[in-house]
């Protein structure tokens, strides 16, 4: 099973990969995609921005599991 994560942040990817280390899940980052345009985060909340990222990634990786989050300062 593949899980694509809507981030290119190495620290976040390390945490997520460590979470799945003993599972059959193969975790991938948007930085592995040959063509991907990071969407503008125009949401008013972390949740809205995470949804924007998730929808953009799902448009490129429609047949896999995707995950996105946003945890900036608020």
Annotated catalytic residue 70: yes
Among 70, 72, 73, 74, the active-site one is 70
Residue 66 and residue 6 in contact, taking contact as beta carbons nearer than 8 Å:
yes
Q: What is the dihedral of CA 8, 14, 19, 20, to 10 degrees?
A: 70
Catalogue the active-site residues. 70
């Amino acid at each position: 099973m593949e899980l694509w994560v809507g981030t290119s942040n190495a620290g976040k990817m390390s945490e997520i990969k460590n979470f799945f280390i003993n599972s059959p899940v193969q975790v991938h980052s948007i930085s592995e995609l040959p063509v991907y345009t990071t969407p503008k985060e125009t949401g008013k909340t972390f949740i809205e921005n995470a949804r924007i990222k998730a929808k953009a990634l799902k448009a490129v990786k429609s047949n896999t599991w995707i995950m996105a989050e946003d945890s900036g300062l608020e």
